[in-house]
């Protein structure tokens, strides 16, 4: 595994649409394991392949319940509403208020390219929406209500 460089807002690749993954290859397997390592190293709860410069529809998420790998994910159901802070590894040191559905159902493929469905509420639903939007070239900052804020880090 290897930690990859996270692309930062202003890098135009972040506004591009990612392409569907057609088959699992050693190259894609390596990308997924690198994405997980990069996400954990950066202490993020989610990462899309485009954030490491690869325009493939692959997302990794871990909201504290173990890793979730989504290949070619699509939101097939959503309901409710949640309003809260959101941040992004590609927009370091910032956060902003975004309204998202409170419950989301996603259909995706796993590392064996088998279809499955997964549901999430609250933070997991937010992560699904945020990461899948990356695959269509959308950053959360386009949905922020009010202004972006600086995140204040507490000193240890
Ligand atoms: Zn993000």
Q: What is the pLDDT of residue 82?
A: 98
* pLDDT at residue 38 tops 80: yes
Report the C-alpha gap between 124 and 137 in whole angstroms.
20
pLDDT tens digits for range 57-108: 999 999 999 999 999 999 999 999 999 999 999 999 999 999 999 999 999 9
Retrieve residue 116's tokens. 């499955």
In percent, how much of the chain has pLDDT > 90?
A: 96
Q: What is the pLDDT of residue 1?
A: 74
CA 59 / ligand 1 centre spacing (Å): 10
Report the C-alpha gap between 74 and 34 in whole angstroms.
22
Retrieve residue 125's tokens. 């639903």
pTM of the model: 0.95
Q: Which residues are catalytic?
A: 131
* pLDDT at residue 144 tops 80: yes
CA 107 / ligand 1 centre spacing (Å): 20
* pLDDT at residue 151 tops 60: yes
CA 66 / ligand 1 centre spacing (Å): 18
* pLDDT at residue 10 tops 60: yes
Report the C-alpha gap between 130 and 120 in whole angstroms.
13
**DSSP class per residue in the chain:** --PPPPP-TT-GGGGSPPBPP-S--HHHHHHHHHHHHHHHHTT-SEEEGGGGT--BSEEEE-SSS--EEEEEEEEEEEES-EEEEE--TTSTTEEEEEEE-SEEEEEEE-TT--EEEEEEEHHHHHHHHHHHHHHTT--GGGG-EEEEEEPPPPP-
Mean pLDDT (whole number) for 130-145: 97
* pLDDT at residue 155 tops 90: no
């Amino acid at each position: 595994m290897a930690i990859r460089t996270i692309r930062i807002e202003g890098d135009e690749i972040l506004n591009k649409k990612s392409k569907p993954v057609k088959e699992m290859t050693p190259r894609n397997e390596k990308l997924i394991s690198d994405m997980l390592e990069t996400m954990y190293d950066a202490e993020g709860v989610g990462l899309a392949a485009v954030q490491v410069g690869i325009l493939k529809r692959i997302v990794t998420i871990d909201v504290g319940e173990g890793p979730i790998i989504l290949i070619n994910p699509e939101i097939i159901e959503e309901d409710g509403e949640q309003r809260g802070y959101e941040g992004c590894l590609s927009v370091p040191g910032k956060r902003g208020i975004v309204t998202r559905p409170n419950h989301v159902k996603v259909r995706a493929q796993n590392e064996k390219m088998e279809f499955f469905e997964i549901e999430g509420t609250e933070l997991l639903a937010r992560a699904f929406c945020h990461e899948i939007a990356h695959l269509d070239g959308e950053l959360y900052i386009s949905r922020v209500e009010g202004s972006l804020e600086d995140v204040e880090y507490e000193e240890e």
